[in-house]
Amino acid sequence: MTEFDLDVLVIGGGPGGYVAAIRAAQLGLRTACVESRDRLGGTCLNVGCIPSKAMLHASELYDAAASGALAKLGMKVTAELDLDTMHAQRRQTVDQLTGGIEFLFKKNKVEWLKGRAAFAGPDSVAIGERIVRARHIVIATGSSHVDLPGVAIDQQIVVDSTGALELPKVPKHLVVIGGGVIGLELGSVWRRLGADVTVVEMLDQVLPGFDGDVRKEAGKIFRKQGFALKLGFKLAALEVTAGAAALTLEPVGGGAAESLTADAVLVAVGRRPNVEGLQLEKAGLSVNARGQIEVDDDLRTSAPNIWAIGDVAPGPMLAHKAEDEGIAVAETIANQRRVIDHRLIPSVVYTSPEIAGVGLTEEAARERGAVKVGRFPILANSRAKANHEPDGFVKVIADADTDEVLGVWCIASVAGTMIAQACQAMEFGALSEDIAYTCHAHPTHSEALKEAAMAVRGQAIHI
């Protein structure tokens, strides 16, 4: 029996889903959003981007005090960790932001349908006993961590990213399986708070998908900070006994296995789309080999009235990609077609320094054709120098013939903020010359991007 008659039903209240729902409602469409968690905001706000940034920020300040960095700036402080308070401020931030989304739903008249959704047919969804019919259905169910075969997450000793945010005490030795974004961010939190951290990565460098120079330099910086990086190793066995884990690592290229013990193990080997329980087949949908729901340029699935956005659809699994797709799908449904260019979605790792990039890596750009590359070391940037932040560089990759900017990569304390400028320039089809001749305020870290653009033609001033 039809209980609702909606224009748009969004399944999932994360950054993709809640943004799609609000934008659809703004456009005058009668909209509801199904979310089973007791708070809106999805992984990002509840157990992902936001709480990890709250812990990264707090642990960075603690580290500055405990490591003597503040003393070098003329501030003598004694650092004492109060982990309970650090956790409490994280939870408070999450409460405030998730409550904010609930407020925005009310303000925009988006109805929150609490429960889990499963397709009942091509234009209807079951939420418990209720059947909801909608003209358009947007699937925005996000992703979950990937399990390693034979490794059980107990959230005590062996944790996923959610458990790694909640550790009740600082582990003596934290082993992180996976040298990707989650492993390096959460590994940074616990290293700063006093843990020895070993990162086990099966590839020969951390951060797959990032520019080769960036990956190499990032590895050096993390080692300098005290991380032990076991590159080219993968987990062969993990045994948990009372309060400890024994790990056997195998070199990927063959050779003798090595043993490690740890009092906490974080498994961060990627994420997979959430489609279980959705009963996609009842809507005539299926998933591709990677478990994603395929969509066309308009984010439309193979069913004309069903759309998919964010981590459940192809493309980078990033909150801002999901948000942009949320806006695009709502506008397309309202006949204001908008297409998202996946090439211009930035990636940021919120470590210290931050690591960011947009567009092609140098390797991919060279495969495409001749390029010119301008590079500028952060050491030569006056603001970074004044702040005692020597690590990193900015790199601008431009087409050798047209000078069009193809990629920008950046390691700097505020790289995540700096990369926005590169995204905007590339969105406008900028040449490296356009960035080079744009006036940048002095002294700012962003001047390093201008200098890297100038370096494309060998015209940087400060190197």
Is residue 13 a contact point for ligand NAI (CB under 6 A)? no
Crossing angle between the packed helical segments 83-108 and 15-26, to the nearest 10 degrees: 30
User: Using the rule CB under 6 A, which residue among 9, 200, 419, 430 binds ligand NAI?
Assistant: 200
Annotation marks residue 440 as catalytic: no
- For position 272 contacting ligand NAI by CB under 6 A, the verdict is no
Q: Which residues contact 98 (CB under 8 A, 6 or more apart)?
A: 39, 40, 41, 45, 46
Question: Residue 177 interacts with ligand NAI (CB under 6 A)?
Answer: yes
**Which residues between 292 and 351 bind ligand NAI (CB under 6 A)?**
317-318, 348-350
* Closest chain position to ligand NAI (CB): 180
Given 167, 269, 340, 418, the residue binding ligand NAI (CB under 6 A): 269
Nearer to ligand NAI, 237 or 463 (CB): 237
Task: Rule CB under 6 A: say whether 185 interacts with ligand NAI.
Answer: yes
Q: Nearer Cβ to ligand NAI, position 110 or 238? A: 238
State the DSSP code for 414: T
- Paired tokens of 279: 């009963």
Nearer residue to ligand NAI within complex by CB, 208 or 251: 208
Q: Does 235 bind ligand NAI (CB under 6 A)?
A: yes
Residues numbered 432-461 forming contacts with ligand NAI, rule: CB under 6 A:
none
Q: Note whether 62 binds ligand NAI by CB under 6 A.
A: no
For residues 404-436, one letter each, b for 16 or more C-beta atoms within 10 angstroms of the residue's C-beta and e for the rest, the string is: ebbbbbbbbbbbbebbebbbebbeeebbbbebb
- Quote the least distance from Cβ 148 to ligand NAI, whole Å: 6
Q: Residues near 327 by Cβ (< 8 Å), separated by ≥ 6?
A: 19, 20, 23, 338
Q: Is residue 202 close enough to count as binding ligand NAI by CB under 6 A?
A: yes
Token pair in block for residue 373: 């590359």
Active-site choice (57, 145, 388, 442): 442
In the complex with ligand NAI, the residue whose CB is nearer, 252 or 380, is 252
Task: Name which position in 116, 234, 272, 462 contacts ligand NAI (CB under 6 A).
Answer: 234
How far is residue 127 CA from its own chain's centroid? 30
Q: Is 203 in the site for ligand NAI (CB under 6 A)?
A: yes
Angle at 264 between CA 263 and CA 269, to 5 degrees: 150
CB of 308 vs ligand NAI, minimal distance in Å: 17
Identify any residues that bridge with 5 across adjacent strands, giving them in sequence order. Answer: 133
Q: Which residues of 231-257 are buried (b: 16+ CB within 10 A; e: fewer)?
A: bbbbbeebebeeeebebebbbeeeeee
Write down the least CB distance from residue 114 to ligand NAI, Å. Answer: 26
* 3-class secondary structure, 318: coil
CB of 343 to ligand NAI, least distance (A): 16
Within 6-82, where are the H helices? 15-26, 42-47, 49-66, 69-72
d(CA 111, CA 115): 12
Give the interface with ligand NAI as residue ranges (CB under 6 A).
Answer: 148, 177-183, 185, 200-203, 208, 234-235, 268-271, 317-318, 348-350
Catalytic residues: 442
